[in-house]
Amino acid sequence: MPSASQDQMLHNLKQWADRTGYQVGQIEDSGNDFILEVRERESFPSVQFIHQRREHPHLLVVGQVKIPSEDRERLKRTMGDGFKQFIWDLKLSLLGKGVDFLVLGEDDGDPEAWEVHLRIYLREFDPNLLQSSYTSIKNSLISVIWCYKKALDQIAMFSADPSQQFSVPAEGAAVGGSFRGEGNDPERARRVMNAMANTGIIMMVTLMDGFAQTMMEATEAMASGVAEAFGGEEASEQMTEEMKEKMPEAKEQMMGMVSQVRQQLYEQMAQKADDIESLLADRIFDKGPEIVDVYEFGLPKFTEELDDETITEYARLLVQEDKYFTEMFGELTAWMNSLPQLPK
């Protein structure tokens, strides 16, 4: 790759990271052309964009998670033979994410670290490709962290209450295994159902708010045009002012409808909790609360029952295109679309 093109690639990478609001820094490494480290926030793993040789037309997008030896030992000691299945399930899960990965350490059945990477080709500046590759690596790393954390949390629960049934993951079980019957956990079911309900409520609020805005603006334009045709410019301005004054009232009425629907939805989900208990045993339902737990907005989380004021604050974040909330809401929407249909 010509020097000018290489310099432009590095410039474009830094520009994309800066404009996206990520923390970015260049790592000095004589073995590669350049390494740019990108981190979204301190609690997230970092991702590196590596250009190995000037003549290479591609970038490597790489991330790594190291597993503390004490955590590995505790899992092996407690899970026994189930630890092997845990590792296999995690490997298969990463394969399904469309990324390449390596297990690092002397024993690939007990990785000291997991490295995830992608190779991308940039013929021209493509911020969407940079963003999608970064997100893919970041989410893959987070899924590895969550799997270990979930397993350790379940061990802690078992240790705190030895009366709980402890079983190793069965062949083909979901990543992280199953230490006890999750379908019989009322707290888990509550968090899952609240995540589903609140995602649907926020979607409805934004749609209704946008509909109200559009209808009022269209009505205002039509009324203003008619008033101007019959009463001149002064009548048109007066009509426009009156319509603007009515806008908050129209939105308030719609929000009142949303509040009623919210209460009814929470009540219906509570009534149907027993009917959907067996269906919630599917591990796919856990992804929603796991997504929610990553983010913090200074508000009650989506896994709780939310009041009208909190719903409004979350809807405002979405309308204002808050980067983190938009990302979380997009992941939750995709999760909702992947769920099996609940009984009506």
Q: What does the pLDDT read at residue 144?
A: 92
Q: Is the pLDDT of residue 2 over 80?
A: no
User: Does 94 or 309 have the greater pLDDT score?
Assistant: 94
* Rounded mean pLDDT, 90-116: 91
**Choice among 1-5, 116-120, 312-316 with the minimum mean pLDDT:** 1-5
Tokens 């469309």 correspond to what residue? 98
Name the band, by pLDDT with cuts 50, 70 and 90, for residue 88: very high
Name the band, by pLDDT with cuts 50, 70 and 90, for residue 87: very high
* Rounded mean pLDDT, 219-233: 48
Name the band, by pLDDT with cuts 50, 70 and 90, for residue 178: very low
Beta strands in the chain (DSSP E): 23-27, 34-39, 47-51, 58-66, 100-104, 113-121
- Quickly list DSSP for 263-329: HHHHHHHHHTHHHHTTGGGSGGGGHHHHHHHH---SS--TTS---HHHHHHHHHHHHTT-HHHHHHH
- What are the chain's domains? 3-180 (3.30.1460.10), 184-338 (no CATH)
Q: What does the pLDDT read at residue 104?
A: 94
Question: Phi-psi category of 120—alpha, beta or left, where left has phi over 0 and alpha has psi -120 to 50?
Answer: beta
Q: What does the pLDDT read at residue 64?
A: 94
In terms of pTM, does the model score above 0.85?
A: no
CA distance readout (Å), 46 to 52, 126, 193, 240, 331? 18, 21, 32, 52, 20
Q: What does the pLDDT read at residue 165?
A: 42
Two structure tokens written together for 274: 């027993």
* Rounded mean pLDDT, 28-48: 86
DSSP at 177:
-
User: Does 30 or 213 have the greater pLDDT score?
Assistant: 30
* Rounded mean pLDDT, 97-117: 92
Q: What does the pLDDT read at residue 189?
A: 81
Q: Is the pLDDT of residue 65 over 90?
A: yes
How does the average pLDDT of the chain come out, rounded?
76
